Structure 1
Amino acid sequence: MALSARALAAATTTGVALGAAAAAPAGAATSSPSPTAASPISRVYVSLPRQGKAAPSAALIARGIRVATKARDGEAGGRRIRLIWLDDASGDAWDPAKVVANAQRAAADPTAIAYVGEGNSGATALSMPIVNRAGLVHLSPVSTATDLTSTDRAAELQPTGVRTFFRPMPDDARQGAALATYARTSGVRGGVLLVDDDGLYGRGLTSAFAAGGARSGVRIIGRRVAAPDGPGLPALAREVRTLKPAAVVYGGSPSSGAAAVVRALHAASPTTLIFGGEALANDAFAKQAGPAQSVLRLTAPAAHADPRPSRTHGLGRRPAAFSVFAHNGMTALLRAVDRSARTGAVTRESVRTAVFDGSLQSGLSGAWTISASGDSTYGAFDELRLAKGHVRTPGEVAVDSLVRKQSAALRARLAKRKRLARAGVAPQKAQSVIGSVTSVNIASMDLETAMMLVQSQRADLLEAQLREQIAAVHARTDQVAKLGTVLSRLSTLEARFPAGSSNDRVTVSLPDLGTALTDLATAATDAKLAPAPASASLGQVRTSIQQMRGQIDAQTNSQQMDMLRLQSLSNKRNEAFDVMTNFIKKMQESRASIIGNMR
């Protein structure tokens, strides 16, 4: 869908009507020259751990990147895109020397237009200055440390003063607040112990939780550092056994030995809930966590990709969050290459400019934009659980609960039938086909039908609301374009005043202004603003321009709320489809199991 980057509300003034920023190109790709065998090649370097504990998570990221590139037939902007895969790990951890070498290799390649990496926030911080000095766009799909885009470290991480780094996943500040909310809704009222791996990501996540917890009334009783193989872990386990905190918030990733840490914490205090971030929200970690799965509570950016295959582009019916956000980021990068090609030659600078032009991105997880700092405006989070080696989404948890209730009710009805049969009471006519699918359907029809009806109506309602929201954004986009025209006409009018003119000089004293005033009046009418006056002083024109720029800035600051509403509606709509499909599958499996036991 073609949407403006700045969905700003229309503004009016009395007298001269004043403009807004011109509408940015839409996030959706439009036509670009088709590549041929002779088309130029642009390279995108991808640096991820291909070995060690982080390899499973990196494989999910790589899948999203590959699928996004394949969906474009390996081209963007009339150029052939070549992915160059590099390994930034040695053994179980990322290797600083490899990270530096990979970034330098990309920087030295004149055909390189972007660098994707790393899979760890600490490693990303190491490659950022090298990539920034080379003027390469730097995409890190899952590095969420707040420091990476903060102004405090800008001079260190992006030394040229020009932003080149962006990420599709929201940062740890927002995730920490989401974790604090999850803890509160999970009934955590007592003391919370913060534990991290002393890495950039882990420290940032626990600090963000502390900030969010303070606002929501969660009491922090201490902060500890835990390395899986270090001498501190047994001591930490003994302390947890003694303290028995209401919850532990763990900041770490699989590459830093998170599985060993959470298993030790769970063994020390089996009833203590353990909260963690998106780095742990994958099936590979769930299997490693073992019995600790039952107490793990995770948050991750909501990745409710539409379960219909046409929307997931080959990622599967339930793609992992890392795959979805890697797909979102890579798609945004390729669309930026398209936009840069339409403005002229595809260069590192033209691609960087296109990435940061504010275009609205229609990702698999919903709409989002890239802010001036490189952060994603996406802000919806899921509250997840782990069970039987798999990540369980809110929809799956709800379906599991409903299926358990239905299965219990069905077993009770079957037991009652057997008791009646032993007592010699004839079964009801509707149950005459013993053990058949028809009998099972009749036995569970009321509750299932009600569930499906409610979910279907919910999906339809959300679909209608989503269409209305998109239509509203389109309307605002059209208005912004018209206001941009007004601003352009006003700028033209301002330029007609001779250099050195006083602010008191009015337009009626200028020669040959008929066309300029007519164009301004037409643009103002088209934008449904107050009619432009027949004359205005230079001071009035300048003042009005400044006032409107202030209004534009104010509207831009509230843009994120529009994006969050669009994201929320999209996520809820997709989750409704997800719940229905999961419910049908679970009911079929439950029936088959019960019928099999009857036979």
Structure 2
Amino acid sequence: MITRRSAATLLAGTALGAAFGLPRGAQAADSKTIIIGINLPITGADAAGAKRIMNGALLGIQQANDSNEFPGYTLKPLVLNDATATAGQYDPAQAATNARKFVSNEHVLAAIGPEMSGSAKAMAPILSEGNVSMVTPSATNPDLTNPQFAAQYMPSGKPTFFRTVTTDAFQGPNMANFYAETLGVKDVYILDDSGAYGVGLADAFQKQAEAKGLKVLGRDRLDPTASDYSAVLTKIKSLNASSLYYGGVSNAGVKLVKQAYAIVPTIKKGGGDGIYTPDITTGDGFPAAEGWYVTNASPHVADDPKIANWLNEYTSAFNEAPDDYAITAYDGVLVILAALKKVIAEGKQPNRENVRAAIASSSVDTLQGTVSFDQYGDVKQRVVSVFQITHDPKYPLDDANHQFKYIGVAPQS
């Protein structure tokens, strides 16, 4: 079983370990070292959620080493931060720099991440050209795997970007179905945070909301670096809107949640997986966050008794409860490990192309169920889960399993 000591040891040899002042381990890699990259915004507005994702990935790597799943090989993580102080959150320019670092290190055969679609759009072309497979646990923008944009995001002509979550082509519309069918609202005002993820999610939600007969009262774009959203919220109040939908991440989301409670406290409010994160409940607290509906783009298994041993192991190792995207990150590592096992068992060289091909054709039993991919790299399951933020004072504010109450699977289109 992984312990806090072994988790810290694993981190010590990574770029992240150096960034946090931990002792730097041996950086030289021999021919029997396989590096799995991890790219996440581990500082800034989304750090709490990103660190859970990171921990899920680290747990998978450590378990493989502890059980000697690859005799003669050592697995190492290379954790890179794609957040910058200037952006206050993920920064696509930094993500592109990190992608080039992965490509330039011949021992990096695959990677986990990124968390955000804006980073993914910056990284995907570079990783494609370098033939480095990346499995994202949370980046949901459909363009990344849409064949119409293959020249932009898949210039090599082969899928290198894979997901263990579904896309906003399902997350946005299914939440619109939830608004219409379950909440029964008649109108909605839509906001986004100007990022690739937020705009795409809001677009997908809006299209389906209109198809379901909801009146879209307006649409505005929030500047995530701004501090005051009172003008647009006052406009929403003046329109007597019955609901609000936000596409975006927590940099703008934290401020929006707090200010919406002050100005439009009684309307129905919701958003996507960009605000299904402890950054919202710790940044806003209660009662501001109370009642928001949020989705994530995977099955909800973070409190499933069937994986109780894994949940206990994660909690023991990192002194916090995992969320569903910690699980999809762990599942992403399982996908990479299964590919490596297949390549080695077939007597092939564990290199980027062989691992990529094995991932593309894989069908892997994971914590969330069987994960397999279509020809573009999208996971074949299409489940979108709905939660409502509901304060449970018996648990810490950053415990997503108890502060985000599971409602059920969103109605599919």
- Answer whether contact 1:271 1:295 (CA < 8 A) is retained: no
Equivalent position of 2:96 in the other structure: 100
Q: Is 1:44 the equivalent of 2:43?
A: no
Q: Is 1:272 the equivalent of 2:272?
A: no
Summarize the alignment of residues 424-443 of structure 1 with structure 2, pairs less than 5 Å apart. Answer: none
Q: 1:64 aligns with which of 56, 71, 85?
A: 56
In 1, Cα distance between equivalents of 2:38 and 2:364: 21
The CA deviation at 1:77 is 4.7
- Answer whether contact 1:64 1:315 (CA < 8 A) is retained: yes
- Answer whether contact 2:202 2:247 (CA < 8 A) is retained: yes
- Answer whether contact 2:64 2:70 (CA < 8 A) is retained: no
- Answer whether contact 2:96 2:123 (CA < 8 A) is retained: yes
In 2, Cα distance between equivalents of 1:285 and 1:232: 17
Q: Is 1:362 the equivalent of 2:365?
A: yes
Give TM-score scaled by structure 1 length: 0.57
- Amino acid in structure 1 at the alignment position of 2:366: G
Equivalent position of 2:10 in the other structure: none
Equivalent position of 1:163 in the other structure: 159
Equivalent position of 2:255 in the other structure: 260
The CA deviation at 1:228 is 4.6
In 1, Cα distance between equivalents of 2:239 and 2:271: 20
Cα gap change, 1:233 to 1:384, in 2 (>3 Å): same
Equivalent position of 2:325 in the other structure: 322
Equivalent position of 1:206 in the other structure: 202
Q: Is 1:55 the equivalent of 2:47?
A: yes
- Answer whether contact 2:244 2:270 (CA < 8 A) is retained: yes
- The count of aligned residue pairs is 361
Q: 1:385 aligns with which of 374, 381, 388?
A: 388
Cα gap change, 1:393 to 1:382, in 2 (>3 Å): farther
In 1, Cα distance between equivalents of 2:237 and 2:200: 26
Equivalent position of 1:302 in the other structure: 299
In 2, Cα distance between equivalents of 1:380 and 1:100: 30
Equivalent position of 1:113 in the other structure: 109
Q: Deviations over 1:492-548 (max 9, x none)?
A: xxxxxxxxxxxxxxxxxxxxxxxxxxxxxxxxxxxxxxxxxxxxxxxxxxxxxxxxx
Cα gap change, 1:310 to 1:371, in 2 (>3 Å): same
Cα gap change, 1:263 to 1:376, in 2 (>3 Å): same
- Answer whether contact 1:76 1:335 (CA < 8 A) is retained: no
In 1, Cα distance between equivalents of 2:283 and 2:240: 23
Equivalent position of 2:22 in the other structure: none
Give the stretch that moved more between structures: 161-170 or 217-226: 217-226
In 2, Cα distance between equivalents of 1:76 and 1:100: 32
Equivalent position of 1:86 in the other structure: 80
Cα gap change, 1:315 to 1:215, in 2 (>3 Å): farther
The CA deviation at 1:391 is 4.0
The CA deviation at 1:377 is 1.4
In 2, Cα distance between equivalents of 1:273 and 1:81: 47
The CA deviation at 1:393 is 7.1
Q: Deviations over 1:359-393 (max 9, x none)?
A: 32222122231111111112223221112235467
In 1, Cα distance between equivalents of 2:230 and 2:96: 35
SS state at 1:304 partner: coil
SS state at 1:42 partner: strand
SS state at 2:290 partner: helix
Summarize the alignment of residues 403-552 of structure 1 with structure 2, pairs less than 5 Å apart. Answer: none
CA-based RMSD: 2.5
Q: 1:346 aligns with which of 347, 350, 362?
A: 350
In 1, Cα distance between equivalents of 2:64 and 2:377: 24
Cα gap change, 1:266 to 1:396, in 2 (>3 Å): closer
The CA deviation at 1:64 is 0.8
The CA deviation at 1:229 is 4.4
Cα gap change, 1:100 to 1:282, in 2 (>3 Å): closer
Cα gap change, 1:97 to 1:284, in 2 (>3 Å): closer
Structure of greater Rg: 1
Q: Deviations over 1:449-481 (max 9, x none)?
A: xxxxxxxxxxxxxxxxxxxxxxxxxxxxxxxxx
Q: Is there any run of 5+ residues in structure 2 with no aligned partner, and where?
A: 1-28, 392-396
Equivalent position of 2:21 in the other structure: none
Q: 1:149 aligns with which of 138, 145, 168?
A: 145
In 2, Cα distance between equivalents of 1:87 and 1:392: 25
The CA deviation at 1:76 is 5.4
The CA deviation at 1:69 is 1.3
Give TM-score scaled by structure 2 length: 0.81
In 1, Cα distance between equivalents of 2:82 and 2:403: 34
Q: Deviations over 1:31-72 (max 9, x none)?
A: xxxxxx997111122121221112111101101101111221
The CA deviation at 1:115 is 2.6
- Amino acid in structure 1 at the alignment position of 2:79: W
The CA deviation at 1:167 is 1.0
Q: Deviations over 1:127-159 (max 9, x none)?
A: 111111111112222111111111222101111
- Amino acid in structure 1 at the alignment position of 2:363: L
In 1, Cα distance between equivalents of 2:198 and 2:80: 25
The CA deviation at 1:85 is 1.3
- Answer whether contact 1:303 1:364 (CA < 8 A) is retained: no
Q: Is there any run of 5+ residues in structure 1 with no aligned partner, and where?
A: 1-36, 399-563, 565-599
Relative contact order, higher structure (CA 8 A, sep 6+): 1
- Answer whether contact 1:64 1:324 (CA < 8 A) is retained: yes
The CA deviation at 1:219 is 2.4
Summarize the alignment of residues 207-226 of structure 1 with structure 2, pairs less than 5 Å apart. Answer: 207-226=203-222
Q: Deviations over 1:240-293 (max 9, x none)?
A: 120121111101111x32110122223221111111111212233123233232
- Amino acid in structure 1 at the alignment position of 2:280: F
In 1, Cα distance between equivalents of 2:183 and 2:153: 40
In 2, Cα distance between equivalents of 1:167 and 1:356: 11
SS state at 2:300 partner: coil
- Answer whether contact 2:387 2:404 (CA < 8 A) is retained: no
- Answer whether contact 2:230 2:263 (CA < 8 A) is retained: no
Cα gap change, 1:62 to 1:263, in 2 (>3 Å): same
In 2, Cα distance between equivalents of 1:304 and 1:71: 20
